[in-house]
Structure 1
Amino acid sequence: MSQANTKLVHHIDCPGGGQVWVDGATLYVGHMAPPAGTTIFDVTDPTAPRLLATIAQRQGWHSHKVRSANDLMIINQESIGGPAGEGGIDIYDVSAPSKPKMITRWRTGGRGVHRFDFDGRYAYISPTVDGYVGNIVMILDLVDPARPIEVGRWWIPGQWKAGGETYPWHDWVQPRCHHPLRFGDRLYVSYWHHGLFILDISDMSKPRLVSDFNTSPAFPHPTHTCLPVPQTIKGRRILIVADEDVAELWPTPPAFTWTFDITEEKHPVPISTFQVPSLDRDGSPQPDMTGCHQPSERLKGTVVPFAWFAQGLRLVDFADPFSPKEVGHFVPEPAPGEHRPSSNDVTLDDRGLIYLVDRVSGVSIIESPLFK
């Protein structure tokens, strides 16, 4: 274990996870592989988390993403070998987190839903849909969670095969909406090897393209997350764009994160990058899951926690967005039987505690003076 400006509060021994989320004093863990589906803990005392409930997962599927708000929990259903047409999202009543109650299962075509955002009423999801090539953007209204209603969708022109659109990417990677994030009346959408898109959703029924930018193929990593910083920094609006260190188009050094200036949002401009110090020593290719994965979707100030796969937790300060600096880290011990960590997701709670999940095994609860 290696650490700086961080301290381990507690380690939860549980199956590996794809996402962690904290709502109040309740921790939700979405697991990578069946039979583990979702686990719920009480973290009122973070030194002694208390198991509240587990939800099993069927073979051939995973529910590795989870979000909770307004006493609702949403988990994804994505095929990892299961039959097409049975994926989507499951919606639970978690007003009593120890007794989650299934409200409904909302289903889509194809493999189902990958990643999503949820604000307590609207879910911003990345489903596969019959008639479309790859995942698209969709907005669901859960005002009545028993009857989700689609209120809007968006896709890159060319994805709607059933609508007669000409498919232009025969010599490129299939488009795939990976992760929509809502801030205000905008959706910030990562689209894998097709880059980032900013959508105006002031009219949710008709999402409208504001701008886009793609760093591939010059840098052959897929775009994972587009995270706007809520406050301006040095009078500028900043977008953090994390590439994921998987699915590389050719052997390459580890993935890193970009800083974009979106003050003029019709013209996003990359102004800096950040890589873990000394990770890319000479430009040589390294194995997948060595570099960047994603930032916390919750932010406090200018220091952003990142899950950096084999490099664990990295705390990066964007106070100067032209020169982001690492100000702390926590590299956990590898999961049993593994030779290095695989930190997959990270979030913050209202107390400033950090939750870091390994995709193979375990959740680390970490504190840092940077979030006091």
Structure 2
Amino acid sequence: MAHIKPDYATSNMRLVGHDDQGGRSDAVQINLHRGHAYVGHIFSKGFSIVDVRDPANPKTVNYVPAPPNTWTLHLQACDDLLLVIHNKDMFAQPELADEKNYYKGSVDGHAEPEKTTRDWSAGMAVYDISNPAEPKQIGFMPVEGTGLHRIWYVGGRFAYASALLDGFTDYIMIVIDMANPAKPILTGKYWLPGMNKAAGEVPDWPTPNGRFGLHHPIIHDDIAYCSWRDACLAVVDVKDKSNPKLITHKVWAPPFGGGTHNALPLPDRNLLIVVDETVLDNQEDGFKPIWVFDNQVRSNPISVSTFPPPSDKDYLGVGGHFGPHNVYENRPGCFVSSEFIFATYQNAGLRVYDIRDQFRPKEVGAFVPPRPTTWMDPRPNRPVVLHSADVCVDRNGLCYVTDFNAGLYIVEYKG
């Protein structure tokens, strides 16, 4: 790995390995299972499996193509099951090549049957990964609409996801019964009032200026912490799987930019880490922080601090997206911490934060991969810069970082 030199790394971060994912160097979500990494592609129409048992020499061992015109960019691996979303390939639509059209307006028109031909797969595929390198599809849950965006599944009977279904203005939360993995069942739904257009609900938000749709939920103790993009944070009681109920809805956009992407509960400390995703170049959508919320009162989470943004370089001057995208979500069987947060910061790479003092988060590690050497993004006029997307951290503190173009980096956090 000596030939790969990072643009920037602190003494706490060390490059261990790199893989171009079999020539498909684009990826979004990554999960680890039995010494293998499962990466969902954003442009390469499928997902790949990388053998990472030797982290210094990762090797792509399989690729599962997506159905035509279909995204499979998000996935969840747990209990020898791999859950993979099927969604219309949004970035392949000519009108969505400009990110502003995807992030700053309603997307329901891209699912309406009267407006377009259904030439994609919508729903959730289930694979048996007891043989990690050879996923075997055993089930599928179809939905009517664009499909699913992102799933939360940490084992057991229920999975949770965001889905754009016919009749709704944007993605809503769905509950999926996994009692029989071969036949997942859509069991419950929750949406913010105004989203059910088919039922005559009328939105009371400025639809041309933002995405009022769920990115995904994270669940703890039958409470779903829902990142609702420009509608920010919705906290939902999911004890009754067929009839989820709102606990509270917090909105801070405006004055802040919105784009809420993750809401990660840290239950042992009654904290909630909330990420607002930067979605446009050059911070055109405003400054997006990573927030720390005090979550002692579930019905009233209160922001107490924000993470410091990277300051080792003028990343705004680099171009592309400068701001957070995602935080590692404390996957079972991997690294779990309520004191250290790992975040991808798009053109500023991977950042590690110490939040032992929740009122004064501080950066304690950083790794910025070099500029991509291959370019997978087919959209016109994209700046050729880093776009770190997702991170998963194993028990040994090895960080697996994906990118829209730069392949998979494996980095050791030594702090």
Does the alignment reach a TM-score above 0.5?
A: yes
Match of 1:11 among 14, 18, 23: 18
Q: Which moved more, 1:335-344 or 1:260-269?
A: 335-344
Distance in 2 (alpha carbons) for counterparts of 1:311 and 1:256: 14
* Greater shift in the superposed pair: 159-168 or 21-30: 159-168
Question: Do the aligned partners of residues 281 and 197 (structure 1) sit closer, same or farther apart at CA in structure 2, a change above 3 Å counting?
Answer: same
Higher share of residues assigned strand = 1
- Closer, same or farther: CA 285–178 of 1 in aligned 2, 3 Å: farther
SS in structure 2 of the partner of residue 293 of structure 1: strand
Alignment partner of 1:134 is 2:170: yes
How many Å separate the matches in 2 of 1:273 and 1:280? 19
TM-score where L is the length of structure 1? 0.91
Task: List aligned pairs for 1:276-295, cutoff 5 A.
Answer: 276-278=309-311, 287-295=319-327
- Is the Cα contact below 8 Å between 2:279 and 2:285 reproduced in 1? no
Cross-structure match for 1:88:
123
Moved more, 123-132 or 170-179: 170-179
Is the 2:28–2:40 contact (alpha carbons within 8 Å) kept by the matching residues of 1? yes
Letter in 2 for 1:151: T
**Is the CA contact 1:53–1:97 (under 8 Å) kept in the aligned structure 2?**
no
Q: Structure 1: which 4+ aligned runs deviate by more than 6 Å?
A: 279-282
Q: 2:65 aligns with which of 35, 56, 59?
A: 56
For residue 337 of structure 1, report the CA deviation from its aligned partner.
5.0
* Secondary structure at the counterpart of residue 176 of structure 2: strand
> Counterparts of 2:144 and 2:313 in 1: how far apart (Å)?
40
- For residues 109-258 of structure 1, the aligned pairs below 5 Å read 109-120=144-155, 121-170=157-206, 173-232=210-269, 237-247=270-280, 251-258=284-291
Unpaired stretches in structure 2, ≥5 consecutive residues: 1-5, 94-116, 331-335, 376-383
Selected match of 1:47 from 50, 56, 59: 56
- CA–CA separation in structure 2 for the residues paired with 1:316 and 1:347: 15
Correspondence for 2:298: 265
Matched residue, 2:108 = none
* RMSD across aligned positions (CA): 2.4
Instruction: Give the whole-Å Cα distance in 2 for the aligned partners of 1:28 and 1:281.
Output: 33
Aligned counterpart, 1:30 = 40
Question: C-alpha separation between the residues in 2 aligned to 1:186 and 1:330?
Answer: 34
Do structure 1's residue 369 and structure 2's residue 401 form an aligned pair?
no
Higher helix share: 2
Structure 1: any 5+ residue segments left out of the alignment? Answer: none
The answer as to 2:87 corresponding to 1:78 is: yes
**SS of corresponding position for 1:112:** strand
Take 1:272 and 1:26, find their aligned partners in 2: how far apart are those partners? 36
Going from structure 1 to structure 2, the CA distance change for 1:358 and 1:174 (only over 3 Å counts) comes to: closer
CA distance in structure 2 between the partners assigned to 1:280 and 1:320 by the alignment: 25
What whole-Å deviation, never above 9, does each CA across 1:125-151 have from its counterpart, x for those lacking one? 101111221110001011111111122
3-state SS of 1:111 partner = strand
Instruction: State the 1:103 CA deviation.
Output: 1.4
User: One-letter code of the match for 2:291?
Assistant: W
CA drift at 1:102 = 1.2
User: Partners in 2 of 1:102 and 1:89 — Cα distance?
Assistant: 11
Distance in 2 separating the partners of 1:162 and 1:118: 29
Deviation at 1:332, TM superposition (A): 0.6
One-letter amino acid matched to 2:14: K
| TM-score normalized by the length of structure 2 | 0.82
Q: Deviations over 1:319-347 (max 9, x none)?
A: 11111100010001111157432100001
SS across alignment from 2:50: strand
Give 1:51 shift: 3.0
